[in-house]
Amino acid sequence: MVTRQRVTTVAPATITLVRTHATLPNLTIIRLSMIATRLLIATGLACGLTSLTTVAHAQTETASVAPVAAPVAVPSRSTADRGEVDEVLGRVGEFEVRLSDVRRSLDTLTQAERDALSREPAALNQYVRSLLVQQLVLREAGQAGWDKSPVVEERMKTLRDGVVASTYLESVSSPPAAFPTEADLTAVYEANRNALQVPKSWRLAQIFISDPQTGDDPKASPAAAAKLEKVRAALAAPDANFANLAKSESEEPASAARGGEIGWITETQIHPNVLSALPGVDIGKVSEPVRLQDGWHLILVLDIREAHTPTFQQVREQLAAQLRAEKTRADSQAYLGRLLQQNPIAINEMMLSRLIPAEAK
């Protein structure tokens, strides 16, 4: 018999014009920095990602930047298995990273870490930037021969011990291959229909004109106003081609290279200023210029999906992965509980206090 379980769905792709509802706790940010280091060791990638301009909406608007990213996957199949082209996602200096590289990197994270990244565009942004910075530092360190220093060797031993312990714990906590059964999955799906509902979403493209707002005055600068007028006139022409105009006129390089296309974004992710402009825009039409903190956005609506509940088959793989992750976590805790029961821990608190410098007490 399967008990009712709450399923947290994996968020759709994070794209430009998103809003962030909350910042991650400091401990999570620290953890993400540690993750980036671990990924460099685990994958051996000489790579980087080119970040793309994004507008994040938190309690106050800021002109921050974040990458366009695929959904953070629960344990994923290879790119070839997915039938995807293993495209180059980005570059830094002479390094490049492909879709398969990033998927392998994300698969080394825990379920909780993947969930955190899927929910928080800002966290994914920081995660990718950490990889970029560390790749550049890694190159400099290699050229200086630092990778052969006693400091590195000692810390690598510590890291190795951690990897051996954690991967062994994973191996003894891994659920049977037959888990979950089809009956388990069906029961969880039926119990979580409401939680699985996908909000209304739009497939959007944009032409972005940079014009950072200063103070409370939303008025366009003379240069931005002139460019807006030029672009809108071009869009009004009978033979207007939005994709070509985006490539030549948009000032957000990543989406411009794709003819302005951003991708699918749900109404819960869209910046309020953009969301308020969409109801009156039909498929194939362009919005009035939308003023955000970083500048002006002309939005083309490419397609619309109404809110819906995905079918069982559409979420079956995601449900199976989440149930396996939850069972792995429970089995891991049970294993550690048995281990500690057989081997009680004793700590000399008096000696422990000596580790704290006198001036810190």
Where do the H-state alpha helices sit in the chain? 26-43, 79-82, 99-106, 111-119, 121-143, 150-173, 182-191, 222-236, 242-249, 253-257, 272-275, 312-342, 349-352
pLDDT tens figures, 280-298: 899 999 999 999 999 999 9
pLDDT, residue 358, reads 57
pLDDT, residue 94, reads 72
Whether the predicted pLDDT of 150 surpasses 60: yes
pLDDT tens figures, 236-263: 999 999 999 999 999 999 899 999 999 9
pLDDT tens figures, 50-74: 222 222 232 223 222 222 223 333 3
Q: Where are the domains of the chain?
A: 1-148, 152-197+309-361, 208-273+283-305
- Across the range 306-311, mean pLDDT stands at 93
Domain 208-273+283-305 architecture: Roll (3.10)
pLDDT tens figures, 166-183: 899 999 999 999 999 999
Mean pLDDT is lowest, of 125-139, 272-286, 299-313, for 125-139
- Across the range 205-232, mean pLDDT stands at 92
pLDDT, residue 54, reads 29
C-alpha 50, offset from chain centre? 14
Distance separating alpha carbons of residues 268 and 20, to the nearest angstrom: 10
Give the confidence band of 86 by pLDDT, cuts at 50, 70, 90: confident
pLDDT, residue 242, reads 96
% of the chain surpassing 70 pLDDT: 71
Collect all residues with Cβ–Cβ distance below 8 Å to 307 and sequence separation of at least 6: 197, 198, 199, 200
Structure tokens at 104: 């392998």
Distance separating alpha carbons of residues 315 and 285, to the nearest angstrom: 32
pLDDT, residue 11, reads 33
Task: Say which residue, 126 or 150, is predicted with more confidence.
Answer: 150
Distance separating alpha carbons of residues 172 and 12, to the nearest angstrom: 32
Collect all residues with Cβ–Cβ distance below 8 Å to 143 and sequence separation of at least 6: none
Whether the predicted pLDDT of 39 surpasses 60: no
Distance separating alpha carbons of residues 21 and 258, to the nearest angstrom: 28
pTM as predicted: 0.49
pLDDT, residue 349, reads 83
% of the chain surpassing 90 pLDDT: 49
Give the confidence band of 82 by pLDDT, cuts at 50, 70, 90: low
Contact 231, 209 (CB under 8 A): yes
Q: How high is the mean pLDDT of the chain?
A: 76
pLDDT, residue 14, reads 30
